[in-house]
Chain A
Amino acid sequence: MLLRHTTSAVKERSALTVNPAKTCQPVGAMYAALGIHGCLPHSHGSQGCCSYHRSTLTRHYKEPVMASTSSFTEGASVFGGQANLLQAVDTIFSIYDPEIIAVHSTCLSETIGDDLGQIINKARDEGKVPLGKHVIYASTPSYVGSHVTGYANMLEGIVKYFAEKTDEKKRQVNLLSGWVEPSDMRELKRIAKLMKISAVLAPDTSDVLDTPMTGKFEMYPKGGTTIPELVSMGDSMKTIGMGSWATRSAAVMLDNKCKVPFEITDIPVGLSATDRFIQALANAGRVSIPESINEERGRLVDVITDMHQYLYGKRVAVFGDPDNIIPLVEFLVDIDMKPVYVVSGTPGKAFEKRMEAILAERVPEAKYKNGPQADMFLMHQWIKENPVDLIIGNTYGKYISRDEKIPFVRMGFPILDRVGHSYFPTIGYMGGIRILEKILGALMDNIDATAKEESFELTM
């Protein structure tokens, strides 16, 4: 019992986070920047930050993750990191030759007051940025928000720098992706294509963090949103941001800068959120919804119909990032499960409102909390008070699953101990089927493993 110390009585904590259900901003900034073609993320801080983020992303994707660091020393922490960043820009362009350097700050560089914009301007003035190359940046202090905030800040930095409005309106839609897998980004593009919508997806980590084996190491793989695509976003008809936490600020930025109107939808996880997303996409692209999409929807509903008796009333604990778990919780309610505990380490007032709207009527007993003390420890205490039939969340859920002998479905970031998330999408209608398959697989494996001999069934 690895978590034997978890007590079932919930005590108020204010100074302490135990087994956090989140991590810090810079790793999100790094992930977003990796979705831009030819971009090298740069961590402006101590070496360890960059190393930790790369390790975490590497463990999750099983792919090389490239990023550079300002390698702060004692001197930098006293005199500021300007010299380090200037040297870094020089070094990076001369050795690693990216198209773009995407600089993000860290708690250290923020606290000592480094002004990234000013330092990068200085680098430009000093001729350290070669012609046609770019340095973009985002402020990502680790003591504010979470990894999702860092993702949002970098995405905002990306569109702020690149998007341009010309006189020529383009018949295309901007898709700002929330924090999802490369497989999901690929699926988004497939859906847009099915709907005959010309779309620019940013960021896009497909073909960056799911690259094929070729016997070659590519520092800049072929995927990622390209610079011309990013520039053209300023001329699009509309922006759809998927996930308020991760994409709202970038969508607002595009509206302010280039007058591209926007709509924020949920990440299309499950049935209802995908319905709304498809509707929004059709409206934005001024197209009708093709039969092929309706058929995919029909297949999802068919699987739910076939299996609804196994789902009915099952109690679920969910943890993860707000943009991802809000539509997931809604899906669980749609398929007649009871998401009774929902926890997210990422702060943001809208979370409670959304949860209440989704859960108040159908699952009035549900408990939900987000922010610093909404950690795995709290979720475990709730589960000890009154157990659940299923846990859904990132790899860190495996401790509770093992100790309490509860089936567990891995979704979210990070997944450090299984493969598949990079390749099989969980968004859209087809992704909904994948989620169902995983949930039913976990529940039914458990039934098989624990059933008494006489009631062990061949057909289910």
Chain B
Amino acid sequence: MLDDRYALAHRLYPYERAADQDAEVAAHHPVVVIGGGPIGMAMALDLALRGVRTLVLDDHEGVGEGSRAICFAKRTLEICDRLGCADAMVDKGVVWNLGKVFHGEDLVFEFNLLPEGGHRHPAFINLQQPYFEKFLVDRIRQAQAEGAPIEIRGKNRVESLDVRDDGAGIEIMTPEGPYSITADWVLACDGAGSPTRRGLGLGFEGKVFKDSFLIADVRMKVDFPVERRFWFEPPFREAGDSALLHKQPDDIWRIDFQIGWDVDRDAELKEDRIRARIDQMLPGVEYEIVWTSIYTFQCRRMESFRHGRVLFVGDSAHQVSPFGARGANGGVQDSDNLAWKLAMVLNDEAPEALIDTYDAERCYATDENIRNSTRSTDFITPKSEISRVFRNAVLHLSRRHDFARPFVNSGRLSVPCIYDGSPLNGADSLPGGPAQTRPGAPCPDAPLEDGFLLHRLGTGFVLLAIGQEPPDTSGLRSVSIATPNAETRARYLVAADRALYLIRPDQHVAARWETATPVEIEAALNRATGKEMA
């Protein structure tokens, strides 16, 4: 009746009978999160830290096995830092900056992800998804102990939703039978196959790529450098059309082989068949196979991430091919975008129309992620004869000519979206200011005398005053940097001498000025909280 669909790596929230199951009348919850994956847990943690009572329903009792997502980007770490769990991730993760791309035997392209210093967090870490999820749940337990209103119910499977204008009724199955609750808001964080999405009969349109990849995670003691290595048409040619080798914690290495479209999955997943591929790639190396999977990939999204009081977050709303690590990283940014908006609406600090900007901003971001990951996929798995000809022409030229190397695309790695054109963006009145911090952009980190800028910005709206005293704006917190250092100048001033930045709770820029009156700041704040839309 409630059989596990997968084995658990960590049993973190065993089923317990909840008082709601014995209630005469269906208990009411402001926010119910369906699905306890990385996005559901980040979502619940963020909301609860903002004082919103949040219930997570998961049909399992913990974190599933299998490394799955392994690349977590700087922006994700910055968000997790705000949530209070980035240090555990960085401590456990493998930090890497260097990527190498080969064509056959030859190195054709090399990249360094973090060419500039002065950021608290590395460009990327590799960390198995179960660790990422466990650190989030550990942080939730700590927050609970400190009084954060968050509850996780394991082995609670949502059977059906009755969506109404002002919320939803939810039917839940447990090992002890069914019960019902109601909610003001339902957040569907139940993955690419989202039963919530299917249950509501909503579409998920896009493009399926006709190729498949074999993932093998192997444990081995080798002294390969900590870098991402990618081969087009590798010298170990029979192993795959392309291949990837990437280090994870615990002496685990991720290996990917591109194995074509018409493959017999069961045969390819047999250990001797997998070993035949790996032995070609790593002759003479001893290893243990710890996890394998075959995946095909799609780039698709829902037309809208909001359906009344049901919101889709993460893979349930959109799916991208894995090249570029834009799946989990994009989902964490969805959560980052939605949490403060939903908290403000629930606290009567903003109109409900603010929630529509979650849809607008994250659809825009999703299109960017899909565009990038589609282009990478087109390069890695050429879909026509002529696209293969051009792909190989790029690789051929790249060996000797630097100009061709930027065309090489083995994945454009996840960077946060700049919400250009967002209805929440206010004034951009900083002549000579840098493009990277225009309204809609995520704030870049910068070192301060006593820590880092993003940490100082905090979790609510904040006015950042650089080279000037902040104007007196009652109720709005401010952070002042009287004499900016070189990094702060480069990221927030460039040709300007002073600046005021109004920054949202998700640390995206709402508006910026050389200087501004309290009235102008108030207007930007109203705009950034959706009050002009109501």
Q: Is this pair of chains taken from one and the same complex?
A: no
Q: Give the A-binding residues of B (Cβ under 8 A).
A: none
Q: A residues touching B (Cβ–Cβ < 8 Å)?
A: none
